[in-house]
């Protein structure tokens, strides 16, 4: 059952949509490279124990301010300001996909706003011996790589997109806008120096990985754990790049056990 709603929030030159709900210890969720998940069930479950904020990154959807972001540091400082404006910090920061890469940067550069860190199928590294699949490549290949069970994936995939009956191209433009925002930090490879900065992470860290993620092999999660002092790893079986959808119960259990430690 949903416990939240989306509202518009201004932070400096940025205006972003933020899903907000629940009560309890503060938690912020940073979405993946494709889209904000909207009113997804896993956010509602997290909101049963936490005050949850799930912002849409500037440049995605109708959130604005991406012209103020020239590099990852600009994005990190935006999130620092957003957390402070919301009166939320320090937060438990959960980042999925590109959101994991951003969350790790936030925790390394502005550690005062992060209590605990959860990285879910997180981009940010590159392994020459096992190259990651290009998420912007052939659509059918990327789609198959994302899911453990392609035939039973959520359809439509959870999103904050609102169809426009007067604009049949709205969905395509929405996806193109989101992909354009993602490629700034993910293309040609999603590596922007995070490896050098992980040594500065002090927040207790959990790495969660779908065991059948065809975009990012488990070796990427293992490398994150190797580079982050004291980090732990949970691999969720029968899940691809979106374990919060394919194995929601296992995902919630892993996150909640870690945050309660």
Query: In the predicted model, is pLDDT for residue 11 greater than 90?
Result: no
The residues, any chain, with a CB within 8 Å of residue 218's CB and separated by 6 or more, are: 209, 211, 235
Burial label, 84 (beta-carbon count in 10 A; 0-12, 13-18, 19+): middle
Confidence of residue 1 (pLDDT cuts 50, 70, 90): very low
Confidence of residue 12 (pLDDT cuts 50, 70, 90): confident
Query: In the predicted model, is pLDDT for residue 2 greater than 70?
Result: no
**pTM: predicted TM-score of the whole model, two decimal places:** 0.97
pLDDT, greater one: 125 or 168: 125
Query: In the predicted model, is pLDDT for residue 156 greater than 90?
Result: no
Output the CA–CA distances (angstroms, integers) from residue 57 to 80, 148, 164, in the order listed: 13, 27, 21
Confidence of residue 3 (pLDDT cuts 50, 70, 90): low
DSSP β-ladder status, 14-21 and 50-55: antiparallel
Domain extents for the chain?
4-259
**pLDDT at residue number 164:** 87
- Mean pLDDT on 211-219: 97
- Mean pLDDT on 46-53: 97
pLDDT, tens digit (0-9, with 9 covering 90-100), for 107-116: 999 999 999 9
Strand partners for 16: 9
Confidence of residue 118 (pLDDT cuts 50, 70, 90): very high
DSSP β-ladder status, 91-96 and 50-55: unpaired
Confidence of residue 68 (pLDDT cuts 50, 70, 90): very high
Q: Give the DSSP H or E segment for 104.
A: helix 98-109
Has domain 4-259 been given CATH number 3.90.226.10?
no
On whether the CB atoms of residues 18 and 53 are closer than 8 A, the answer is: yes
- Mean pLDDT on 178-188: 95
- Mean pLDDT on 21-34: 97
The residues, any chain, with a CB within 8 Å of residue 251's CB and separated by 6 or more, are: 42, 120, 208, 236, 239, 243, 244
How far is residue 215's CA from residue 43's CA, in Å, rounded to a whole number?
23
């Amino acid at each position: 059952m949903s416990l939240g709603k989306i509202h518009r929030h201004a932070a400096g030159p940025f205006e972003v949509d933020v899903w907000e709900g629940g009560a309890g210890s503060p938690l912020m969720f940073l979405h993946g490279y494709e889209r904000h998940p909207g009113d997804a069930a896993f956010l509602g479950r997290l909101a049963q124990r936490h005050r949850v904020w799930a912002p849409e990154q500037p440049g995605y959807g109708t959130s604005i301010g991406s012209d103020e972001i020239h590099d990852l540091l600009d994005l990190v400082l935006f999130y620092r300001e957003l957390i402070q404006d919301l009166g939320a910090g320090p937060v438990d920061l959960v980042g999925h996909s590109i959101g994991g890469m951003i969350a790790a940067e936030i925790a390394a550069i502005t550690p005062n706003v992060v209590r605990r860190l959860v990285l879910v199928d997180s981009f940010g590294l590159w392994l020459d011996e096992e190259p990651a699949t290009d998420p912007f490549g052939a659509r059918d290949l990327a789609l198959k790589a994302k899911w453990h069970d392609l035939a039973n994936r959520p359809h439509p995939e959870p999103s904050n997109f609102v169809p426009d009956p007067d604009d049949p191209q709205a969905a395509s433009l929405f996806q193109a806008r989101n992909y354009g925002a993602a490629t700034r930090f993910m293309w040609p490879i999603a590596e922007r120096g995070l490896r050098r900065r992980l040594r500065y992470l002090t927040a207790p860290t959990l790495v969660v990985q779908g065991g059948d993620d065809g975009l990012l092999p488990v070796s990427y999660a293992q490398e994150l754990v190797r580079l982050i002092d004291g980090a732990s790893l949970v691999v969720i079986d029968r899940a691809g790049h979106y374990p919060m959808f394919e194995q929601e119960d296992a995902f919630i259990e892993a996150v909640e056990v870690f945050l309660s430690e």
